[in-house]
Amino acid sequence: MENNAITAIGLTKKFGDFTAVNAITFEVKKGEIFGFLGANGAGKTTAIKMLIGLSRPTNGQATVAGFDVFKQTNRIKENIGYMSQKFSLYEDLTVKQNINFYGGIYGLSRKKIIEKTASIIENLNLRSYANKVVGDLPLGWKQRLSFAVASVHDPKIIFLDEPTGGVDPATRRQFWEMIYEASNNGITIFVTTHYMDEAEYCHRVSIMVDGKIEALGTPRELKERFKVNSMDDVFIQLARG
């Protein structure tokens, strides 16, 4: 348990008669890059929302960063970062103002915010954009800035919900470099994606079908088990049922 960043046992979410997430059980180790795959509507986003405290589970148990998803959502929120498929920085604020705002509401000290602002702008090469409104940035840059802002408070776990949707391959590449760097710094990454090449970058992946986790393992294990050559084929076999 202590080596796990996330532990979920029988985690379930029902909306009326519809079971969006059906008793999923898995664990994510500290420092791991965990790919959370599934077709559209398989229940990935609902599952993430339960883990990050945006949605209350109907049943089951889960701990995130050592805190209970039922009772300690605020402690969880202090220890995680989240980047959703919807772009969530303020387009009418400048790059600096966005960092300042999110740093502020995460309770960072003024000094820390200044440090963080400088290092993010430096790392992302945004010097000439620092005082421009975020709405003027190209999408790829926005996504990378989003990721940086989601980790402004040095969280233990970062949840990424389809972070690279609609982004060109080169930028996706850069994005994954950021993910690896974070992972090397000991941050656990929990990522959903539709790109199977990205699934190959993950340490371990799970594949969700109709609210259940149908397969879980390293990309290599899964390919061997399903006797195919690519994650694409694994996914298609499972998703077709």
* Chain positions contacting other proteins, by CB under 8 A: 49, 52-56, 73-75, 77-78, 80, 82, 84, 86-93, 97, 100-102, 104-107, 133
Q: Do the Cβ atoms of 196 and 235 come closer than 8 Å?
A: yes
The residues, any chain, with a CB within 8 Å of residue 25's CB and separated by 6 or more, are 8, 9, 10, 11, 213
CB of 199 to other proteins, least distance (A): 24
- Alpha-carbon distance of 204 to 112, in angstroms, equals 34
Four-CA torsion 183, 186, 187, 189, nearest 10 degrees: 40
Residue given tokens 């990050």 in the structure block: 52
Nearest Cα to Cα of residue 38 among 193, 237, 160: 193
- Select 101 or 201, whichever has its Cβ closest to other proteins: 101
Nearest distance, CB of residue 41 and other proteins, angstroms: 17
Nearer to other proteins, 25 or 73 (CB): 73
Smallest gap from residue 146 Cβ to other proteins (A): 9
Look at the block and give the residue holding tokens 């049922």: 241
Q: Which is nearer to other proteins, 110 or 220 (CB)?
A: 110
Least distance from C-beta 51 to other proteins, angstroms? 10
What is the rounded CA–CA span in Å between residue 49 and residue 176?
Answer: 22
**Least CB distance to other proteins at residue 168 (A):** 22
CB of 11 closer than 8 Å to CB of 52? no
